[in-house]
Structure 1
């Protein structure tokens, strides 16, 4: 792993809360020490997924996990995960309803494509369109989950 001179998302999240590395180590109940945090923040060490989750909890930053999965985790990158940004509830619901409507329209086409048990080239293109819409739905679901977690944590 190469050392990075720019501030990492982990360092930015910590600094946004005006926390020292020592304070974060204290808040982590032994999960981190100051030295490991410094190495993670400067790119000298790769962060482990469970460490990302712990920092997200300490910083109360739900987007930290999403950003890590989309930008740094090999599995998330390979699966094409996108950063889930917190949105307002009405925007999330409208996106979900629009995607559901679109998928509902594709339902008949999906039945037509699979009824004969064979998939031709045109059907593969149609499956790709459906796959893209399912990915959009997945992103919308993640946005809703993020909103709910944030709302529940505040109340």
Structure 2
């Protein structure tokens, strides 16, 4: 058996491929994965050892072939500077864990509607309103992150229902 470099053993793209290989033996080798995704084998090797960031289109191909939608969020929040700034990090989690996170996020957003109305009343954000707006924003981000995780869960376990 080929030795796996330490950087590869923890690489998210490699781990997703190995997980997918449990259901599709062709994905157990880079050659088979290359044929399944259309990504050059040598390029895939560099992606999996972490010396090369994949293109967004390649991440989409891997996510589809490996049935691993979480790879898209991983890419956006780790390799894309826009995604790092704008996207919440989301992980593939079990539904019971997501339900708890969702209810907790909803609890954190209670009362923010009134705070937002108070801040927006004059159409301006003043310095004294900024802490309340930042608190509101953090609560909204928590709900958004759970929303992303629910989307990943549905894509992973709910089939290809679209939307």
What TM-score results when the alignment is normalised by the length of structure 2?
Answer: 0.78
Contact 2:17 2:66 in 1 (8 A): yes
5+ long unaligned stretches in structure 2: 22-26
Aligned residue pairs, count: 149
**Alpha carbons of structure 1 residues 44 and 119: separation in structure 2 relative to 1, 3 Å:** closer
1:90 lines up with 2:96 in the alignment: yes
Q: In the aligned structure 1, how far is the partner of 2:69 from the partner of 2:54? A: 17
1:37 lines up with 2:44 in the alignment: yes
Alignment of 1:42-53 (within 5 A): 42-53=49-60
Secondary structure of the structure 1 residue equivalent to 2:150 = helix
1:20 lines up with 2:29 in the alignment: yes
Q: Mean alpha-carbon deviation: is it higher for 127-136 or for 96-105?
A: 96-105
Q: 1:115 aligns with which of 105, 117, 121?
A: 121
Q: What is the aligned-residue RMSD (CA, Å)?
A: 2.4
Q: Mean alpha-carbon deviation: is it higher for 63-72 or for 125-134?
A: 63-72
Q: In the aligned structure 1, how far is the partner of 2:114 from the partner of 2:150? A: 27
Q: 1:59 aligns with which of 50, 55, 66?
A: 66
Contact 1:69 1:76 in 2 (8 A): yes
Contact 1:69 1:81 in 2 (8 A): no
- Per-residue CA deviation, residues 79-102 of structure 1 (Å, 9 max, x unaligned), is 3632x1222323323432333344
Q: In the aligned structure 1, how far is the partner of 2:139 from the partner of 2:18? A: 37
Q: In the aligned structure 2, how far is the partner of 1:112 from the partner of 1:145? A: 32
1:152 lines up with 2:153 in the alignment: no
What TM-score results when the alignment is normalised by the length of structure 1?
Answer: 0.81
Q: In the aligned structure 2, how far is the partner of 1:111 from the partner of 1:154? A: 39
Q: In the aligned structure 2, how far is the partner of 1:33 from the partner of 1:119? A: 51
How far does residue 113 in structure 1 lie from its aligned partner after superposition? 1.3
- Per-residue CA deviation, residues 119-150 of structure 1 (Å, 9 max, x unaligned), is 22221111100111111011010111112112
5+ long unaligned stretches in structure 1: none
